[in-house]
């Protein structure tokens, strides 16, 4: 028999929408680069959703966990985004273009300053790469995670986080017992499909 209203029950598989206002936030919670980039750069397509969720994290007072890798990834992604805005699909060939680098550099420096301010305003733990030397490769071997995702996941787990905030569906390769995933609504179905039952 169907539940009231004829709807099937939703099996979350440990994947939750950032937009869900009644969502309980775990303490601590890990942040992935994909989420931080969108939250900090106003021109990003999911800035509104991610910025609102970051505000919820601030307001809740919970501790945030990040990998030491996040800052370097954020720098690269920010620089690349500035090039993409100007050159679109040909941005890689213009990476060394002297006309593009000054603006990309300003955006990079502004974003990193905002990131440092964000971390300075939150209870925060940063996991050093040396703290997860064997667990990241194990996550790659056991679940097929990409190397950087494995580092973020291993860092989250090492710091005691039970959830990661990300826009990267690759984290769904991990079982829900390892990490819950908090992502935007458009990625729920994809993450739940990837996640083993």
Domain annotation covers residue 39 = yes
Cα torsion angle, 169, 170, 171, 176, sign = positive
Domain annotation covers residue 46 = yes
Question: Which CATH number characterizes residue 136's domain?
Answer: 3.40.50
Domain annotation covers residue 87 = no
Domain annotation covers residue 155 = yes
Q: How many domains does the chain have?
A: 1
Q: Which of 127, 128, 153 is nearest to 140 (CA)?
A: 153
pLDDT in tens, 118-158: 999 999 999 999 989 899 999 999 999 999 999 999 999 99
Q: Decide: pTM greater than 0.95.
A: no
Domain annotation covers residue 76 = no
In contact, 64 and 122? CB cutoff 8 Å: yes
Domain residue limits at 174? 4-71+123-194
Domain annotation covers residue 187 = yes
Beta bridge partners of 163: 180
pLDDT in tens, 30-85: 999 999 999 999 999 999 999 999 999 999 999 999 999 999 999 999 988 888 87
Domain annotation covers residue 99 = no
Domain annotation covers residue 42 = yes
């Amino acid at each position: 028999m169907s539940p009231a209203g004829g709807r099937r029950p939703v099996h979350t598989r440990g994947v939750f929408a950032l937009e869900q206002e009644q969502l309980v936030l775990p303490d601590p919670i890990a942040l992935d680069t994909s989420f931080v980039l969108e939250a900090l750069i106003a021109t990003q397509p999911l800035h509104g959703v991610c910025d609102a969720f970051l505000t919820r994290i601030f307001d809740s007072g919970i501790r945030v966990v990040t990998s030491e890798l996040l800052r370097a990834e954020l720098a690269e992604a920010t620089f690349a985004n500035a090039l993409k805005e100007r050159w679109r699909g040909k941005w890689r060939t213009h990476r060394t273009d002297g006309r593009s680098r000054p603006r990309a550099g300003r955006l990079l420096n502004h974003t990193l300053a905002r990131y440092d301010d964000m971390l300075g305003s939150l209870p925060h733990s940063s996991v050093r790469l040396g703290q997860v030397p064997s667990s990241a490769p194990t996550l790659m071997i056991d679940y097929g995670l990409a190397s950087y995702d494995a580092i973020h996941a291993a860092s989250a787990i090492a710091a005691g986080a039970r959830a990661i905030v990300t826009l990267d569906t690759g984290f769904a390769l991990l079982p829900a017992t390892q990490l819950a995933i908090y992502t935007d609504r458009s990625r729920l179905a994809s993450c739940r499909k990837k996640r083993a039952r």
